Chains A and B, each alone.
Chain A
């Protein structure tokens, strides 16, 4: 089965069922019926000594007791590989110190349990593996226990396991190392039972990340560090004007430079192939290129804005309609328009990929979030069956959605095809900043209506934005009624008790490539909703946090987050007149996060000096990494709020490097306090949910300080 057909059979309903529960029947059924789960390990550094124990594709225990876990999820900083190891280790009962994790090669077994699609995103790593990985660990433990039970002629039920040792009530003990040979001859149990919450020992524990030592000693291998025999390095010169085509080029001077091997035209520009990066990069100035006129020639931001404004006055698709928002005509209304910009991901590791094309096969190496898409895109260009494209995933120097895009992979494949040698394509920072695939610009008109007694009666929200799911090549995220879920994420299914809602999406697409960007629709929609709620609280004379409590009276988990937030942030305590304080609460990726920001304006500059954050993500598999991801999302959101903006002038992207697209720096860090509410529910996501409330919390703090509503980002005092 090719990847393309996998996408088509991957129904939206299936995704939702898994996205909603990610556990339960689907995965258990998949586990029980999928014979490939007993496959031997498929990892990059397979060095099994032949005496080990590999009950499934994910776990290998060697005869010296070392436990190697093979993980399909890409590690881009979110800690998913450590978290998945905790899920397995908790059930397996090995010692934490005996574990190492290796990255899986591309294979359906390492994709989502319900469809084999290999992608890391949507804060879904631990959610999608929550049941399967624990079952993998439990199955292996049962086999080790059975081996001991057989050896000692005792009932398996009398045995216990901890720290890699099986123990009998009479004091006999056997290490995993001593049992692996016997265990490997036993059948793999179909449906092992799992521990109760009270029995867990590794899940919920603050263990250190398994990659920290590599990442502090220079040993971690990122895409840019891949070295393949006979490899050459390439750069691509793209037009200053976005997507302008090459008409002619003269490479004579460039080819005369030392180290330059070839200069050739590809679909996105002119590629220089050389012995190493500097030889290729510095030769760029010696290629004379005549560019044609690009599709955005003559277009400025104001032209794009006008297009959005006009679109907002056209009818769109109704994403949600509850009650009868139109009927509430005699209440007080607030209508505002919110404009949010294009944003670059600006991962610290510039986009890069290494491609080697063989005879009917390809091997590729690099930082990707979407191995299944890589197989398709390399296969399509090289004329190879996607199954015959092997993807070796390195560490990702940041991802944030950007690394599920295919532009840099396709360009590397084109160059590898043309040169006939393994090629590592490296974007310069400028290439990376100007390659498109941005968080989409969006314009939203939002109306809130209060009834006669000042309660919120209706929300009517209309957003103009392109379909990110279409651009990102995941069309199954578009609902059967044509609404792109990513466009209205954070607008529909709000937890608030508001009787009438009307949510409408206008598919307005100016043609600039857009992509997933941390929290996707929830990166911008909650800014609108939570700003509007704040407005409505203000005009109805209610406390913003108190109003939210009232709207959430039937939602105990949300109430608990709000109450903890009020407590931790000292919401009821008075603050200085020169400090603004704002609150926001957002449910995204199945986690509930509330944040309170405190701001000051000093010499005309906004300073966010404190952020209090409370998260309920169900079971917090690793509290240290939950805290880290809250910090990360808050910093990411703050960078966007204060400065994040990609703009266009006469078809050229204005920003180029970190001087004009500058993420938050260390001295600008607010004090951040994170509280994690202990939950019994299945884990929610943590890589993204900390971001959505940050922008409105800061905007609401600005309002409380200045009385000015922030309706355009980035913030301009």
Chain B
């Protein structure tokens, strides 16, 4: 039995220790906002916050997440920065298909938590791991800049 806190809710998970956190979140905790894209840490669709740090949940095992605090897209709006980022995303109308956007938002919130006014290079570095096949990158950058100024 592994214990972790997901979105302020205590979970006792009975699953193999090598089960990726992504599938624990989606299939055992029932939170489907976090997305499966590649299973290899290449696309960022599964990004969540583990103890405040953005991680690829498909590359994070349940063992790695034991006794940790996990925040997903469903709950990130309860933080000030999370709410600002979501508001900026909505104001700039960023998503197209939207599938990658939970991961994009989680990466952006982590960036702004560490670096409240990131320059272009910092945005590049923080967001390079999040693919968007619809090509919403220009609006993603604009939304990060807007959220930083909010």
Interface residues of A (CB under 8 A from B): 75-79, 208-209, 211-222, 224-225, 227, 233, 258, 276-278, 281-282, 346-350, 395-400, 426, 428-429, 624, 628, 631-636, 657-659, 663-667, 669, 672
Instruction: Give a binary string over B26-44; 1 marks a CB under 8 Å from any A CB, 0 the rest.
Output: 1110111111111110110
Interface residue count on the B side (C-beta < 8 Å)? 57
Among B93, B127, B132, B134, the residue within 8 A (CB) of A209 is B93
Question: Could you pull out 20 A-B pairs where Cβ atoms are within 8 angstroms?
Answer: A211-B98, A212-B90, A215-B98, A217-B73, A217-B77, A217-B86, A218-B33, A224-B36, A258-B16, A278-B19, A281-B39, A348-B100, A349-B97, A350-B37, A396-B97, A628-B139, A636-B135, A659-B40, A665-B137, A667-B127
> Does the CB pair B133–A277 fall under 8 Å?
no
Q: Is B140 an interface residue (CB 8 A)?
A: yes
Question: Which residues on B sit within 8 Å (CB–CB) of A233?
Answer: 27
Closest residue on chain B to residue A206 by CB atoms: B93
Among B37, B43, B72, B123, the residue within 8 A (CB) of A218 is B72
A217 to chain B, nearest CB (A): 6
CA distance A292 to B39 in the complex (A): 28
Among B27, B124, B125, B135, the residue within 8 A (CB) of A632 is B135
CA distance A659 to B28 in the complex (A): 29
Within 8 A of A (CB), among B90-120: 90, 93-102, 105
CA distance A215 to B86 in the complex (A): 10
> Does the CB pair B32–A225 fall under 8 Å?
yes
> Does the CB pair A218–B34 fall under 8 Å?
yes
CA distance A96 to B139 in the complex (A): 23
Question: Which residues on B sit within 8 Å (CB–CB) of A663?
Answer: 131, 133
> Does the CB pair B96–A628 fall under 8 Å?
yes
Known interface pairs A348-B43, A636-B133, A664-B135; A212-B93 also in contact (CB < 8 Å): yes
> Does the CB pair A429–B37 fall under 8 Å?
yes
> Does the CB pair B97–A76 fall under 8 Å?
yes
> Does the CB pair B95–A215 fall under 8 Å?
yes
CA distance A341 to B137 in the complex (A): 26
- Candidate in A215, A634, A665 with the most chain B CB atoms within 10 angstroms: A215
Question: Which residues on A sit within 8 Å (CB–CB) of B28?
Answer: 276
> Does the CB pair B95–A666 fall under 8 Å?
no
> Does the CB pair B90–A208 fall under 8 Å?
yes
Known interface pairs A348-B133, A666-B140, A667-B128; A277-B95 also in contact (CB < 8 Å): no
> Does the CB pair B27–A277 fall under 8 Å?
yes
CA distance A372 to B42 in the complex (A): 34
Given contacts A347-B99, A635-B135, 9 further A-B contacts (CB under 8 A): A76-B97, A208-B93, A216-B98, A218-B34, A221-B32, A278-B23, A348-B43, A631-B135, A636-B135
Among B42, B97, B105, the residue within 8 A (CB) of A77 is B97
Known interface pairs A216-B89, A218-B34, A636-B133; A398-B42 also in contact (CB < 8 Å): no
Question: Which residues on B sit within 8 Å (CB–CB) of A276?
Answer: 23, 27-28
Question: Which residues on A sit within 8 Å (CB–CB) of B132?
Answer: 348, 666
Question: Which residues on A sit within 8 Å (CB–CB) of B27?
Answer: 233, 276-278
Closest residue on chain B to residue A633 by CB atoms: B135
A216 to chain B, nearest CB (A): 4
CA distance A268 to B124 in the complex (A): 41
> Does the CB pair A672–B138 fall under 8 Å?
yes
Question: Which residues on A sit within 8 Å (CB–CB) of B100?
Answer: 348, 397
> Does the CB pair A429–B97 fall under 8 Å?
no
Q: Is B74 an interface residue (CB 8 A)?
A: yes
Known interface pairs A347-B133, A667-B124; A216-B101 also in contact (CB < 8 Å): yes
CA distance A461 to B96 in the complex (A): 36
Closest residue on chain A to residue B121 by CB atoms: A667
> Does the CB pair A397–B98 fall under 8 Å?
yes
Question: Which residues on A sit within 8 Å (CB–CB) of B90?
Answer: 208, 212-213, 216
> Does the CB pair B32–A395 fall under 8 Å?
no
Closest residue on chain A to residue B28 by CB atoms: A276
CA distance A101 to B128 in the complex (A): 33
CA distance A630 to B119 in the complex (A): 26
Q: Is B130 an interface residue (CB 8 A)?
A: yes
> Does the CB pair A79–B36 fall under 8 Å?
no
- Candidate in B26, B95, B96, B128 with the most chain A CB atoms within 10 angstroms: B96
Instruction: Give a binary string over B2-18; 1 marks a CB under 8 Å from any A CB, 0 the rest.
Output: 00000000000000101
Known interface pairs A217-B74, A276-B27, A350-B36; A397-B42 also in contact (CB < 8 Å): no
Q: Is B136 an interface residue (CB 8 A)?
A: yes
Q: Is B54 an interface residue (CB 8 A)?
A: no
B81 to chain A, nearest CB (A): 14
Question: Which residues on A sit within 8 Å (CB–CB) of B35?
Answer: 222, 224, 348-349, 397
Question: Which residues on A sit within 8 Å (CB–CB) of B102?
Answer: 218
B92 to chain A, nearest CB (A): 9
- Candidate in A78, A281, A635 with the most chain B CB atoms within 10 angstroms: A635
> Does the CB pair A657–B97 fall under 8 Å?
no
Closest residue on chain B to residue A665 by CB atoms: B128
- Candidate in A208, A221, A429, A634 with the most chain B CB atoms within 10 angstroms: A429
Question: Which residues on B sit within 8 Å (CB–CB) of A213?
Answer: 90
